[in-house]
Amino acid sequence: MFKSGFVTIIGRPNVGKSTLLNILMGEKLSIVSNKPQTTRNNIQTILTTKDYQLVFVDTPGIHKPRHMLGEYMVKIATDSLKDVDLIVFMTTPDVEIGKGDEYILEQLKEVNIPVFLVVNKMDETTAERMAETLKNYSLKYNFKEVIPMSCAKNKNVDTLLNLLVDNIEEGPMYYPEEMLSDVEERFVIGEMIREKALRLLKDEVPHGIAVEMLSMKQNENGKYNIEANIFCEKDSHKGIIIGKEGAMLKKINQNARRDIEEFLKAKVNLKTWVKVKKEWRDNPFLLKELGYKAPPKK
């Protein structure tokens, strides 16, 4: 009997959703950074074995939006609760349930879908604090299962996977066996470039960064020539991203190229340019141009 199902992963920014997805998939398909709000789109990744196919939806973290891009991110995250078979709600071991998680719990009450509570970062807390966190959340919602986890140490990830497989039903193979994601290679590569900028830059600059893929061509020797624009919102940010004598941009490119070569399994020549698009996060035309769809008006 072959089983299949759709699973959405939801939670506040920076609780480990993308990291969990990458571990489950064994591939770097979703951007991972120590800065919040790094995922901006619902990214479907497909895990297929001879017995089952799980389609995971990695969502942006739910947060209070401060611009049109933020509204878009929150909307697609909450919309992902619909039309899936299972929900994984990720949080961290905080004894007091914060406003962000309270909001998510209220959203979950609107759906009739099994929800698995994953409390990540068990390696960063005590057993007593973890137990208290699990108890407090269980009093708020009737979860299908509660799982303490450490994505950093790869603890209990297999436990979650086995539970998900146990709770999906017999179904078809929705995607071809070899397909890992429903997003194009160009999108993944653009996200890899943005990830390196997020990791290397500080303060408010990263949140105003977007990557536009210009071209991606493979020559007769198998080497890829990739060109992309890195957009920022302020002239002062452009100088920071480029760095003294181009040092920061060079470092971003070097780090991104390593990941891209591993992803494509080929040599890569990467060229990027930094350009200013003021207030692009509140401009519906620029959002659409960069691959985001503005949420509908309320």
- Between 259 and 71, name the one with better pLDDT: 259
- C-alpha 111/C-alpha 141 separation (Å) is 12
Instruction: Please tell me what DSSP assigns to residue 181.
Output: B
- Between 67 and 121, name the one with better pLDDT: 121
Q: Find out whether 157 and 24 touch, Cβ atoms under 8 Å.
A: yes
Predicted local distance difference test score (pLDDT) of residue 71 = 52
- Written as one letter, the residue type at 156 is N
- C-alpha 199/C-alpha 194 separation (Å) is 9
Predicted local distance difference test score (pLDDT) of residue 31 = 42
DSSP string, 53-108: EEEEEE-PPP----SHHHHHHHHHHHHTTSS-SEEEEEE---SSPPHHHHHHHHHH
- When computed from its CA atoms, the radius of gyration of the chain, rounded to whole angstroms, is 20
Is pLDDT above 90 for 130? yes
- The stretch 263-270 carries a mean pLDDT of 89
pLDDT confidence of 283, banded at 50, 70, 90? Answer: low
Share of the chain above pLDDT 90, in %: 35
- Between 187 and 85, name the one with better pLDDT: 85
Predicted local distance difference test score (pLDDT) of residue 45 = 80
Is pLDDT above 90 for 18? no
By CB neighbour count within 10 A (0-12 exposed, 13-18 middle, 19+ buried), where does 245 fall?
exposed
Predicted local distance difference test score (pLDDT) of residue 270 = 95
Q: Find out whether 152 and 116 touch, Cβ atoms under 8 Å.
A: no
Instruction: Show the domains of the chain with their CATH numbers.
Output: 3-170 (3.40.50.300), 185-289 (3.30.300.20)
Predicted local distance difference test score (pLDDT) of residue 50 = 94
- Pick the range with the lowest mean pLDDT from 63-67, 180-184, 205-209: 63-67
Over the stretch 141-183, which tens digit does the pLDDT of each residue have? 999 999 999 999 999 999 999 999 999 999 998 877 877 765 5
Determine the Cα angle at 23 with ends 251 and 186, to 5°: 50
Is pLDDT above 90 for 65? no
pTM to 2 decimal places: 0.59
